[in-house]
Structure formats: structure tokens, C-alpha cells
A and B are shown apart, each in its own frame.
Chain A
Amino acid sequence: MAQEDQELLARMANGDQTALDEFYQQYEGRVYRFIRSKLNDSFDAADVLNEVMFEVWRSAGRFEGRSAVSTWVLGIAHHKAIDRIRRRKPGENVELDPEIAEDDAPNPAEALSAAQNAKQVRHCVDQLSEAHRSVVHLAFFEDLPYGEIADIVGCPEGTVKTRMFHAKKALMKCLAGLKEMGLL
């Protein structure tokens, strides 16, 4: 698959639009889902997806194979989504790099039953900051190793781990809170 993806990029670099069709069909869903998880807005996500694919087309010839194609594409998507967030009106701004300590997070067992409810998990993931949502998405939806996530979001591996740690605490707190309110 990795070899095939690189070949697609090579063909795209030569202006082959059928390669673009194949590439788009292969990556559109993944990239859109990642962007959507960051922006929480389907219109903006469709816009940014177009920007990402346009950049992939224009810079396919500069892909050097230092990372997987998927890492490269998701990295472009990350940066484009961040640009979009920064361009939003101040009132709509999203926290970009929060390292908030979640105090008094509940015991995992308290949040477990809530974590088995898909709607509650979705609600709590939506409450996370953009940076935390990204890491959760890449770790749990894409099943990527922390090193690859660090490449995509452009930060040290340690930062990825601590973001996930804080995201986990925030999710536990949110899920336990929903349980306590009897929303399960």
C-alpha cells in the first residue's frame, strides 16, 4: 500500500489526473474525518479538505518518502485546519495548545460504564480542545503510534503523550459527570 501510494504521488507529480482520482478516493474519507474532528464544522471541513488535496496535488513531486504518505497528508491537513482556526473570528477561536491539568479526575471504574455509551463518548470528545481531540482521533480512530502522531501535529513525542494524558483525564471527568447526572 505504501509503495502504491508513493507511485500515485509520482504520477500526480507528472500531472496524471487519474492518479488524483485514485488518491482522492483513497484518502478523502480519512482526511475529511480528521479535519472534521478538529474543526467541528462540516462546511469548514469540506473547504479545508479541498485545500489539503489541492496542496497534495501541487506538491506531490516534493514528497521525499521520509514518512508514510498518510502521515504526510494528515500533517498537511493538521496545518491547514490550524490555519483555518486562526482565521476564524476571535469569538469562535479554539484553544490551540492547551496543557491544562485536570485535577481530581475520577477513578477509571467510575467512568467505565459511561465510556461504553457511544453518544456519551462522542459528547465528551466534542468538549475537548482541538489539540486534545486531534490526538484522541489519531490514536483511537487511526490507531497510529505516538511517534507518527508527533510527526503529524508537529510536536515532540512527549507532548503527544501528555496531551493524551490530559485528554484522557478530561474524558474521564466528563463521562463520570454524565453518569452522576443520571444521563446514562
Chain B
Amino acid sequence: MAENGKRDEELDLLLPWYVNGSLSAEERTAVEAYLESNVQAREEVALLSAMRQNVKEQPLENSPGDLGLQRLKREIKRGDQQQAPTTGKVVAISSWWRPLAVAACLAVVVQAGVMISVSDRTGGDVGIAGVNGPVLQVTFAPTATEQEIREVLQSAGTTIADGPTALGIYGLRLLAPGNESANIEEALVKLKARGDVVTFAERN
């Protein structure tokens, strides 16, 4: 036990867990006695409490949510179809499926587009994927700078119209009016040519 205000290294190590309230009754009693005799330890508890409060209040960026659950279920279904080895070992998922996951997400987007299109024809509500809606889907390299992305988008005659999704997918539309197939194809070629910036590009 610390005396005369001296620091006690063992009790110092417990201070973060005193702050989060998870110490045993015995440890808690020892820390409280320590705090009574040591100003610096009390200051440290105040600091740790402020840190904890702010760590707890950090905003939560969007997690994958339902999209992630759908992706997981597709993986599970695929695993079942492939009859995973019966050794009891957990099947490791490697990076090979990332393009598949992206493609699957795109399939959902395309399906949504078709549904909106059908809805339009039947007099339903007009969706966002109209004339000016996204015609291309891309992901950018994590290392790409804002300037690089801007240059690539401008050279391809495109602009961001949607996204990013939880998987980092952006929807692009053409800057020029109309969505002629040839223009879209031309933009796609230019995007794919910059593989250092655009890691994935497909028609919507």
C-alpha cells in the first residue's frame, strides 16, 4: 500500500479498471484507499474517466448491417453447396471471395434498378435510378488520394452519384447528358485503365 502520497505501481496498473468499474471488491477497496492518499492518482483517475467517456461517445460509422448479413448467408449457402471438408476444421475465408461479394452486391443493386424500372413503366413512384442515376459501380484503392480520384473521374467523364456503401462501392453517372451505351463503355475503359486508383469497375 502506498504511504505518504508515494505511487504504488501495482495499484496504478489497476486504475483503468477502477474507472470502468470491473475490479473485484478487494481490488476496489485497495484502490480507493490509495486514491485517498495520493493526489496524482486521483488526477489520473479524472483523466482516465474523461478518456473513457470520449471513447464511449465516438460516433459509430455505418456497419455493414443487413447487407453484411445477406453476404454472410450467401457465403454459408455457397459453403454448404461445396460440401466443406468434414475434418471439423473451420473453413478459412480468404480474399478470393471479395470480388464475388462485390459482384453479389452489384446484383442486388441491378435487381433494385430493374424493380424501379418496372415500377416506372407501371406508373409507380419514380426512383433515383432514372436518366441521371448511377450507370457504373466502382471501388477505389485505399491508397488513392482525393486528387487522383478526381482526375480519374474527370478523365472518364463521370461523377459520383451514389455511395459509398458499407463495402465502399460508389455509383457513378456520366457528366454528358444521356446514357448511351458507347459512352458508358468508354468511361468504363478509362476507369479500368487506372487500376492503381480504381480497384473495381462495372456497369450498373
Contacts and interface: CB of A to CB of B under 8 A. Distances in A.
Nearest to B65: A28
A43 B64 contact: no
Contacts of A145: 17, 22-23
A58 interface: yes
Interface string A118-143: 10011001000000000011011101
B61 interface: yes
Given A46-B167, A107-B43, A145-B23, A140 B51 contact: yes
Question: At the interface, is chain B mostly helix, strand, loop or mixed?
Answer: helix
A139 B60 CA distance: 17
Interface string A157-181: 0000110110010011000000000
B91 A115 contact: no
A57 to B, nearest CB: 6
Question: At the interface, is chain A mostly helix, strand, loop or mixed?
Answer: helix
A171 B52 CA distance: 12
B55 interface: yes
A164 B14 CA distance: 9
B167 A24 contact: no
Interface of A: 17, 20-21, 24-25, 28-29, 32-33, 36, 41-43, 46-47, 49-51, 53-55, 57-59, 62, 87, 107-109, 111-112, 115-118, 121-122, 125, 136-137, 139-141, 143-146, 161-162, 164-165, 168, 171-172
